Structure 1
Amino acid sequence: MDKLLSSWSSSAKSLPESYVFPVDSRPGDTNVPFCNTFPVIDLEAALANDRHDAIQQILKACQDFGFFQVINHGVNNDLVSDTMNVVKEFFNMPNEDKASVYSEDPSKKCRLYTSTYDYDNEKVHLWRDNLRHHCHPIEDFINLWPQKPARYRDVVREYSLQVDNLSSRILELISEGLGLEPGYFGDGLTGSQLFSVNHYPPCPNPNLALGLPKHCDACLITFLLQDEMYGLQVYRNGEWFGVQPIPNAFVVILGHQAQVISNGKLISPEHRAITNSKNHRTSIVYSINPKPDTIIEPAKALINKSNYPLYRAFQFKEFLKAYEVKKDYNEGALEDFKIKEELKEESSHKTRDQGCENQLGDLHLTK
């Protein structure tokens, strides 16, 4: 518990050396501008006006940016506020009330910890505490969630159900936009879901520290809820840009698995979380992940003789192992799963052969 920032950061007069990032990765003093072109999609209005137009808005955002903010999304605004309030209540509790959830064992399905899962071996610590737990199916995990605040389980349960429903709607629109069959993002690709809260206390020197370093998400898709404090930045065309918080909006961020399944048509953006010296900041991350044994590969509907597969098939647990072993959390995490140039011609022959087999299958079915 003594490692938790919330246990000691308020009395820190200077930034401990173990939290100082290398020069090439620290945020520095440069004023990072907000980007006015980051997409904001009014889901209710877009769908009411024209479903096809709504799909194209989402698809373009996923292709050009890899993320977008969504408003009027169907998750109850009072519930959104209540969930943010209850997780802030959790972090404001005395240490003795949080002690039952604190753990340094990364295998635990619900735990409070600081920095990363590997605190004792990391080169530099992150300026954040994190609470995370599994939440799908809820009945399997809710008894592991924090018992305090007393309303935590009821509020987060309803939030998880509504965000899960939103994620299904968004993924179905993405699937339709890519030309995939209905229900493509089924239980295998979305069967593991995590609720995660990042708590960033005021930092003595925000120019030297980071709440989260530059990274791409390993999951399929993330639904991020920010509080009113700015802290999210996205790396685009060699520059950092700030993402302005919008009340009750979700930041929808594509993960590496979406990039693979779309065969590179959609991108997983690099982003980070900065700190500030005056205010606490809280963000809630709801990440949608494939089940460990699920095979991840470019969707077959997107592969033909002019569009070779860019990635080989792999199990999601294989990707996660490589992601953690290499500790390359950016585009390089996909390097071992890319199909090398010399294999693409062989792949194209297989695609043509498979096309013939599919035609024969269709003929057989129509007899």
Structure 2
Amino acid sequence: MPAEEKLPHYSDDLSKPFRLDTSTTYVDGGSGDRYWRDYLQLQCFPIDRFAPDWPAKPDAFSGGLAAYAVALQELAATVLELVAEGLGLDKSFFLGELIGGGTLMNVNWYPPCPDPSLTMGLVPHCDRPLLTVLSQGDVSGLQAKHRGRWIDVHPVPNAFVINLGHLMEIVTNGLLHSVEHRAVTNSSAARLSVVSIIMPEMDSRIEPLPALVSEEKPPKFRPFLFREFNEAYTAAAANREDVLRLFMIHPSDTIGSQN
């Protein structure tokens, strides 16, 4: 799209249902650091709620987005049913208000960076909800933290990456861990990724599942509303340990290591 047609959508107001922006909101300590990323952020599901906010141009945008959003929601529900069954729960356990808050999509564009040693594409962070669904294209750039070191998550053709988020770690009482990840830059190729974040209702009550709590395994996290968590996540600049510690019953405990 021509720059003059994109400019009216440019905004750093997180409350807007459709916007263009650059860098990232989550910067430690307000340092002013900028990151090598342009992105389109929009609410994409439920379609009847958010489609009126989508732009009319280009012509194929709304139809393609609607079809993708529906298929994406079905995929996420299937994955959550499998996770629930694996935990010994009813397969529909996660399919209520924990994914009923709408789906937020970030379409990330990482242009070639003249000097990748100077900046990153996206800061290390964990996603907020139970899970996110990532289409990372065919250019490497995603890294995940594994036992204290960063490893490349290479693209697999025709496959999605599923990231477990903070809420999955909390509701499973630490049985499953949120995945810390980041995006790095390169000097030779542009990278496009599409991240779909399956959000809970803001007033959803979040706490460890009673079925996963016992005398031997007491709850590690206190109950809270997702609204409170959302505010804390932004204030902590999405730092994994800082976010989880705010909701731990014993904040001095060690945060679960990532497998």
Q: TM-score, normalised by structure 1?
A: 0.65
User: Helix, strand or coil: the match of 2:144?
Assistant: strand
After superposition, the Cα gap between the structure-2 partners of 1:341 and 1:246, relative to the gap in structure 1 and judged at 3 Å, is closer
1:306-317 to structure 2, matched below 5 A, reads 306-317=216-227
Q: Could you tell me which runs of 5 or more consecutive residues in structure 1 were left unpaired when the two chains were aligned.
A: 1-92, 343-367
Contact 1:233 1:273 in 2 (8 A): yes
Please give the root-mean-square deviation of Cα atoms over the aligned residues, in Å: 1.7
Please list, as runs of the form range in 1=range in 2, the aligned pairs for 1:331-350 lying within 5 A after superposition: 331-340=241-250
Rounded to whole Å, the distance in 1 between the matches of 2:140 and 2:42 is 25
CA spacing shift, 1:122–1:290, aligned 2, 3 Å:
farther
Q: CA deviation at 1:299?
A: 0.7
Q: Which residue of structure 1 aligns with residue 257 of structure 2?
A: none
Report what 1:185 is aligned to: 94
Asked whether the equivalents of residues 236 and 243 of structure 2 are also in contact (C-alpha less than 8 Å), the reply is yes
Alignment of 1:175 with 2:84, yes or no, is yes
CA contact (8 A) 2:45 2:70 kept: no
Return the structure number with greater helix share: 1
| Structure 1 equivalent of residue 256 of structure 2 | none
1 CA distance for matches of 2:140 and 2:26?
Answer: 27
Q: Distance in 2 between matches of 1:341 and 1:188?
A: 27
Deviation at 1:313, TM superposition (A): 0.6
Spell out the pairing of 1:243-254 with structure 2 (5 A cutoff).
243-254=153-164
Cα distance per residue 1:240-272 (max 9 Å; x no partner): 110110111100000000000111000111110
2:169 is equivalent to residue 265 of structure 1? no
* 1:138 aligned residue: 47
* Mapped contact 1:101–1:146 kept (Cα < 8 A): no
User: What residue number does 1:214 align with?
Assistant: 124
Q: Which runs of structure 1 show a deviation greater than 6 angstroms over 4 or more consecutive aligned residues?
A: none
Contact residue 145 and residue 179 of structure 2 kept, 8 A: yes
Q: 2:133 and 2:116 mapped to 1: Cα distance? A: 25
Residue 113 of structure 1: how far off its partner (Å)? 0.7
**1:295 and 2:205 correspond:** yes
Task: Note the C-alpha offset of 1:112.
Answer: 0.6
Amino acid at match of 2:50: F
How many Å separate the matches in 2 of 1:295 and 1:122? 33
Deviation at 1:132, TM superposition (A): 1.0
Aligned 8 A contact 1:224 1:251 in 2: yes
Q: Which one is further off, 224-233 or 184-193? A: 184-193
Amino acid at match of 2:12: E
Any residues of structure 2 matched to 1:69-80 within 5 Å, and which?
none
Measured after TM superposition, the shift of residue 97 of structure 1 is: 2.0
Residues 1:105 and 2:13 are matched in the alignment: yes
In structure 2, stretches of 5+ residues that fail to align are: 253-259
Structure 1 counterpart SS, 2:34: coil
The change in CA–CA distance for 1:141 and 1:299 in structure 2 (over 3 A counts) is same
What is the total number of aligned residue pairs between the two structures? 249
Match of residue 15 from structure 1: none
Number of the residue aligned with 1:28: none
- Percent identity reads 43
Q: What residue is the counterpart of 1:320 in the other structure?
A: 230
Superposed counterparts of 1:1-367, under 5 Å: 93-117=1-25, 122-191=31-100, 192-340=102-250
Q: Is the 8 A contact 2:203 2:226 kept in 1?
A: yes
Q: 1:197 to 1:241 in 2, by over 3 A?
A: same
Distance (whole Å) between structure 2 residues aligned to residue 222 and residue 328 of structure 1: 15
CA deviations on 1:299-331 (whole Å, 9 max, x unpaired) are: 111112221111111111111111111224213
Larger Rg: 1
